Structure 1
Amino acid sequence: MINPLNKIIGQEKVKLILEKIISSGKISHAFLFRGLEGVGKEDVAIRFAQAIVFSSNIPKEKKQNYISQIDKLTEPFIKYIFPLPRGKNEVDDDNPYEKLKQDEIELIQEELAKKATNHFYKIQIPKANNIKINSIRDINRFLSLSYDESIKRVIIISDAHLMNEPAQNALLKNLEEPPANIIFILCTSYPERLRETIISRCWNLNFQPLDQKEVEKVLNEKFEIDDSLARKISLLSNGSVTQGLKILNYGLEELKENVIKILRYSFGKKFYSAYKEFENIGKDSDTEYLEIIISLLIHWLNDFNKFRTSSGEIVFRDYQETFEKFYSRYPDINLLPLANRLDEISTRLKNNINLNLAISNIICEISSVIPAK
């Protein structure tokens, strides 16, 4: 039987820490897995739960059975908490599923089945905007289930930053007086949205972006994306499987073509034409799409520096002529400050900056690097 931690893709430092924790026999009652979305935090959390069982002194048959149940997110050895929609007339004392419609429950079951098959899969449920207090209170039901008391059980909270204030308060009570044999693992890309009293009661582990090969492997093995496309997407993913999947969803070639047009019009100070390329973004208030466009704009700027110095792999290789023409006109231009300013705009998007203002800033920033004639 293979140690489940050895199935983790990437995150070698985190894996080493978890191995040492298990070997010590002194496992904290709460962990905070923090890092970019799509770097495997929840996969590691599930593998960690399995590894605890793997290291336990129980018969092999039981061990295999328990590890299999955890892999499928099956209670009573693991509880997976995630954002859910709120049912009609639902109150905080209701069971989290009690007031949901049947089609909502069926969708949730389908999404959980996908998650159990692929731990990198991101559950998607309409109107599931936060983790409700009754989902946290449901921990009491989980605690009452009968189980093999020689095994520690794990509660994983996905997108922990989406707990509303009552939910965070309810969780804090559990962390202050942790139940016996229970380990909490909070996974989040935004730890700053959690109460400091929660963070301070957790063993914090920072997850790094995956490297290009690791993203490629996940896309290929977990999402069955063919080798060539997985490789192209992984180069643009910024170390995040989630980012890679978003690029795939919007269409890689279409995105790259849009980026080239935005750059061409903005460098040429054709502001109206540049803005038209963003028109659908502003109309649909699609922050996610705009973040991807900014990311690809930065990739093109970095590619230009690689082209100029003949170093590194160029993502926009299919648009070689854009580098050649731009270099012939502006051989000494420094685009690094522009890349930094675009990155700042992307960061401000997370703070609900107006999209039209962001788009205008992007166009102005790009056009400003070209000297006036």
Structure 2
Amino acid sequence: MKSYLEDIKDQPEVKRTLTQFIISDKIPHALLFSGQEGIGKDFCAIRFAQEVNSRFVKNRLEAERIISGIENFSEPYIKFICPLPRGKSESELDGPYEKLSEEDLECIKEELSKKISNPYYDLEIPNANNIKINSIRDIKKFLSFSIETSFFRFILISDAHLMSEAAQNSLLKSLEEPPAGFIFILTTSQPDLLRSTIRSRCWNLNFQPLSNDGLSSILTNFFNINESLANSIAPFAGGSVSIAVKLFEHDFETLINKVIVFLRQSLGKRYNSAFDEIKYFLTDNSGEMLKLLIYLVIIWLNDVQKFRYQTGNYYFNKHVETLEKFNNRFPDLNVNQIVNKLEQLQSAVSLNINLNTIAINLIMELAKISSIKVN
């Protein structure tokens, strides 16, 4: 019989632990899936819910119905909770969707439909900045909904770290003693933002970045990206589907070429030209493109170190001449120090600091390198 866990790319330790829970018939009532964004934590939660019910539900037709219901985020089989916008005049006593506009509801419906079709899809719901206490309180209704059941019912809280303090406090009451047959799964890229009392009530499973082969397969099968391009993008994505999709959406080859041109202008102290190049990465107000630029510059600097020690496997393998020229000119440069400064700028993007200010600082940090005296 096929195991639904086989669909999960990589994550051998996670799959081994989940399989052992099922075999031993000792499934924790709450699980915490931790790891960077875009590595399939939600997908794993869905497949685990399906695997559990396929093993324990004896009636084949009933099992198929339950498994389909889980696939489609249908209650009473699974309750899917994610960040949502606040409605006009919404209070904590309202239902999570009650005061939302028709436009918001339609957008949420479309986004969830995309997530159902592609579990690796990142939801893009405008103004959905946190998980509302209304959504968490709604869990109590789900837990109290009494039906004759022979199956396990799941509560999947995606991006659990985005729960407000009040929402986390409310969740604690449900986590302490859930009714039999209910299993909570929380997924998060920032477990430290969850209260320690929540973390201590969950069995924590740490997910690793995807392998290049695993990531390439996901890009091909779930995003219809041709295999050759998927193989080119995967090494740059740091094991994350989210980053890989951003690279694809912004025309990967064009993006890489723009990064190289930007580096040449900045390192050459051609400030106006460098700023002209960086404007391409300032077109979105969210700062995601600027973060992507800094991320790629850091990868290039890491390649500089690889070239210095002749370890090979360069990400910028089509631009090896830039690595050679840089190392010939700055053989003793402390690259780690530069990377640390750039990582600070990358973090600053999320702090609502003016993007132009960050862009100028990025150019200046790179231009400083050219002022270093060569022995």
- Is TM more than 0.5 here? yes
Q: How does 1:164-243 map to 2 (within 5 A)?
A: 164-243=164-243
How many angstroms does 1:207 deviate by? 1.0
How many angstroms does 1:357 deviate by? 4.5
How many angstroms does 1:138 deviate by? 1.3
* Residues 77, 147 of structure 1: 8 Å contact kept: no
DSSP 3-state at the match of 1:149: coil
The separation in 1 between residues aligned to 2:132 and 2:354, in whole angstroms, is: 28
Q: How does 1:152-167 map to 2 (within 5 A)?
A: 152-167=152-167
* Residues 132, 164 of structure 1: 8 Å contact kept: yes
Unaligned stretches of 5+ in structure 1? Answer: none
DSSP 3-state at the match of 2:192: helix
Which aligned runs of 4 or more in structure 1 are off by greater than 6 angstroms? none
Residue number in structure 2 paired with 1:39 = 39
Provide Cα deviations, 1:171-206, integer angstroms capped at 9, x if missing partner.
111112323321111111111222222112111111
Instruction: Tell me whether 108-117 or 320-329 shows the greater mean CA deviation.
Output: 320-329
Provide Cα deviations, 1:102-150, integer angstroms capped at 9, x if missing partner.
2322221221121112111111111111111111111123224454532
Q: How does 1:267-346 map to 2 (within 5 A)?
A: 267-279=267-279, 281=281, 284-331=284-331, 333=333, 335-346=335-346
Residue number in structure 2 paired with 1:84 = 84
Residue number in structure 2 paired with 1:51 = 51
- Letter aligned with residue 98 of structure 1: E
Residue number in structure 2 paired with 1:366 = 366
Residue number in structure 2 paired with 1:70 = 70
* Residues 233, 247 of structure 2: 8 Å contact kept: yes
Instruction: Tell me whether 320-329 or 260-269 shows the greater mean CA deviation.
Output: 320-329
The separation in 2 between residues aligned to 1:148 and 1:367, in whole angstroms, is: 69
The separation in 2 between residues aligned to 1:105 and 1:282, in whole angstroms, is: 30
Residue number in structure 2 paired with 1:120 = 120
DSSP 3-state at the match of 1:218: helix
Quickly say closer, same or farther: Cα 1:6–1:124, change in 2 above 3 A. same
The separation in 1 between residues aligned to 2:191 and 2:353, in whole angstroms, is: 20
- Letter aligned with residue 85 of structure 1: P
Instruction: Tell me whether 226-235 or 276-285 shows the greater mean CA deviation.
Output: 276-285
The separation in 2 between residues aligned to 1:65 and 1:222, in whole angstroms, is: 24
* Residues 143, 178 of structure 2: 8 Å contact kept: no
The separation in 1 between residues aligned to 2:221 and 2:270, in whole angstroms, is: 44
The separation in 2 between residues aligned to 1:274 and 1:33, in whole angstroms, is: 41
- Letter aligned with residue 7 of structure 1: D
Quickly say closer, same or farther: Cα 1:103–1:345, change in 2 above 3 A. closer
Provide Cα deviations, 1:14-56, integer angstroms capped at 9, x if missing partner.
1111111122212111111111000010001111111111221
Whether 2:246 is the aligned partner of 1:249: answer: no
* Residues 76, 146 of structure 1: 8 Å contact kept: no
The separation in 2 between residues aligned to 1:354 and 1:205, in whole angstroms, is: 37
* Residues 66, 77 of structure 2: 8 Å contact kept: yes
Unaligned stretches of 5+ in structure 2? Answer: none
The separation in 2 between residues aligned to 1:253 and 1:132, in whole angstroms, is: 40
Residue number in structure 2 paired with 1:150 = 150
* Residues 304, 323 of structure 1: 8 Å contact kept: yes
The separation in 2 between residues aligned to 1:127 and 1:336, in whole angstroms, is: 37
DSSP 3-state at the match of 1:304: helix
The separation in 1 between residues aligned to 2:197 and 2:223, in whole angstroms, is: 37
Q: How does 1:347-362 map to 2 (within 5 A)?
A: 347-352=347-352, 355-362=355-362
* Residues 298, 342 of structure 1: 8 Å contact kept: yes
The separation in 1 between residues aligned to 2:317 and 2:52, in whole angstroms, is: 46
Instruction: Give the TM-score, by structure 1 length.
Output: 0.92
How many angstroms does 1:246 deviate by? 1.2
Provide Cα deviations, 1:224-257, integer angstroms capped at 9, x if missing partner.
1111111121111011000111112222133212
The separation in 2 between residues aligned to 1:202 and 1:351, in whole angstroms, is: 30
DSSP 3-state at the match of 1:55: helix
The separation in 2 between residues aligned to 1:52 and 1:329, in whole angstroms, is: 59
The separation in 1 between residues aligned to 2:179 and 2:146, in whole angstroms, is: 14
Q: How does 1:126-145 map to 2 (within 5 A)?
A: 126-145=126-145
Quickly say closer, same or farther: Cα 1:95–1:251, change in 2 above 3 A. same
How many angstroms does 1:100 deviate by? 1.7
Provide Cα deviations, 1:273-324, integer angstroms capped at 9, x if missing partner.
3334334656754322122111111221223344455543333233344234
* Residues 282, 289 of structure 2: 8 Å contact kept: no
- Letter aligned with residue 199 of structure 1: R
Instruction: Tell me whether 32-41 or 103-112 shows the greater mean CA deviation.
Output: 103-112
* Residues 115, 123 of structure 2: 8 Å contact kept: yes
Whether 2:120 is the aligned partner of 1:110: answer: no
The separation in 2 between residues aligned to 1:69 and 1:302, in whole angstroms, is: 46
* Residues 11, 208 of structure 1: 8 Å contact kept: yes
Instruction: Tell me whether 199-208 or 60-69 shows the greater mean CA deviation.
Output: 60-69
- Letter aligned with residue 302 of structure 1: N
